[in-house]
Amino acid sequence: MTRVLIIGAGSAIAEAVARIYAARGASLFLVGRDRERLAAIAADLRVRGAAGAEVHAMDANAFEQHAAMLDAAWARLGGVDLALIAHGTLSDQKACEGSAALTLAEFSTNGLSPIALATAIAPRLAAGATLAAISSVAGDRGRASNYVYGSAKAAVSAFFSGLRQRLGAGGVNVLTIKPGFVDTPMTQAFAKGPLWAKPDAVARGIVRAIDRRRGVAYLPGFWWAIMQIIRAIPEPVFRRLKL
């Protein structure tokens, strides 16, 4: 039985991942801010086949609560085979440009808190386990329209790259998940087009990457090619683009 810890478990992508593990008979520990929503998700996961589904209310920015949450998760599950850090907020770029405080708050949610959690989770994992975080293609290159969010995700991607090298020797797989555009509550205000994916499809890609012990997963996979091109654009050209 797989023991799964999900932080940001109310996220549409995370819930779709949890359903796949529930169908496999996994035991889950769900962490998020909205206890009632988590309880409803947990009840649904049990119906779908989960061996167990516990909930724990915590704001990821409450750094002082991380250790107690992890103690509770390890005590409930008896160890963790998969830890998935999924929470995030799509920062209001314009508002951040006028407020250092808001910029740092967004950086905390999307960058510092996943890094703090990964640091605390890493020494608790045994060989064979996976530590995964949902970063973003937005972290591959800063763009005028969302560089606060993108730079926080870039910090997570770089941190996870180093952590992957460090923990790989001990048999712990570290996975950086880089979705493109996904149709979730986070992006409800956006007009959708052909590049958009559904949370279920992204979740299947996440679980495939975990099963195959991959290091980095662009989801859907075509985003790897798109980001190769975006990253290859010389800076003098890139600075004149409106992205």
Ligand X SMILES: NC(=O)c1ccc[n+]([C@@H]2O[C@H](COP(=O)([O-])OP(=O)(O)OC[C@H]3O[C@@H](n4cnc5c(N)ncnc54)[C@H](OP(=O)(O)O)[C@@H]3O)[C@@H](O)[C@H]2O)c1
How far, CA to CA in Å, does 28 sit from each of 80, 89, 199, 233? Answer: 9, 23, 19, 42
Q: Provide, rounded to whole angstroms, the least separation between the CB of residue 185 and ligand X.
A: 4
Among 36, 59, 71, 97, binds ligand X (CB under 6 A): 59
How far, CA to CA in Å, does 82 sit from each of 58, 103, 107, 130, 206? Answer: 19, 31, 25, 5, 12
Q: Is 87 in the site for ligand X (CB under 6 A)?
A: yes
Tokens of 193: 């087009």
Q: What are phi and psi of 119, to 5 degrees?
A: -65, -40
Q: Is 149 a catalytic residue?
A: yes
Total of residues contacting ligand X (CB under 6 A) = 25
First and final C-alpha spacing in the chain: 45
Residue 88 or 205 having the CB closest to ligand X = 88
Q: Is 186 in the site for ligand X (CB under 6 A)?
A: yes
Residue 62 or 126 having the CB closest to ligand X = 62
Looking at 18-26, 32-40, 72-80, 225-233, which segment touches ligand X (CB under 6 A)? 32-40
Tokens of 223: 């985003």
Among 107, 147, 160, 181, binds ligand X (CB under 6 A): 181
How far apart (Å, rounded) are the C-alpha atoms in residues 29 and 72? 9
Are 84 and 4 contacting, i.e. CB atoms less than 8 angstroms apart?
Answer: yes
Q: x/- string (CB under 6 A) for ligand X, residues 201-220? A: --------------------
Residue 51 or 104 having the CB closest to ligand X = 104
DSSP string, 47-87: HTT-SEEEEEE--TT-GGGHHHHHHHHHHHHTS-SEEEE--
Q: Provide, rounded to whole angstroms, the least separation between the CB of residue 89 and ligand X.
A: 5
How far apart (Å, rounded) are the C-alpha atoms in residues 26 and 46? 10
* Angle of the 66-77 helix axis to the 113-121 helix axis, nearest 10: 40
Looking at 53-61, 64-72, 74-82, 115-123, which segment touches ligand X (CB under 6 A)? 53-61
Q: Provide, rounded to whole angstroms, the least separation between the CB of residue 22 and ligand X.
A: 17
Among 79, 128, 162, 185, binds ligand X (CB under 6 A): 185
> What are the residues binding ligand X (CB under 6 A)?
8, 10-13, 32-34, 59-61, 86-89, 109, 134, 136, 179, 181-182, 184-187
Please give the positions annotated as active site: 149
